[in-house]
Amino acid sequence: MFSELVFVSTSRGRAAVQLGTCRFLLDGSGRGVKRRWRCVKRTYGCRSFIVTVENTLIKYSCNHNHAY
């Protein structure tokens, strides 16, 4: 079962979403109802991402290569 999505913004004003202990940043323009979010630690090689449609989680690829 998915954890509850919590929409937040970063200190720089970027859109982000908190899912349990994991935080994701909006990937791309964010236009349209379907949005892809990438793990905040992708710069460290983490490939996890989620996809939302109208603020509902529809896909969760949980392959974190790091511990929170």
Name the residues that contact Zn ion, by CB under 5 A: 39, 41, 46, 48, 64
- Cβ 41 to Zn ion shortest distance, Å: 5
Alpha helices in 1-68 (DSSP H): none
Nearer to Zn ion, 54 or 68 (CB): 68
What are the E-state strand segments in 1-68?
Answer: 5-9, 15-19, 22-27, 34-39, 49-53, 56-61
CB of 12 to Zn ion, least distance (A): 19
Least distance between Zn ion and beta carbon 1 (Å): 20
Phi, psi of 15 (to 5 degrees): -70, 140
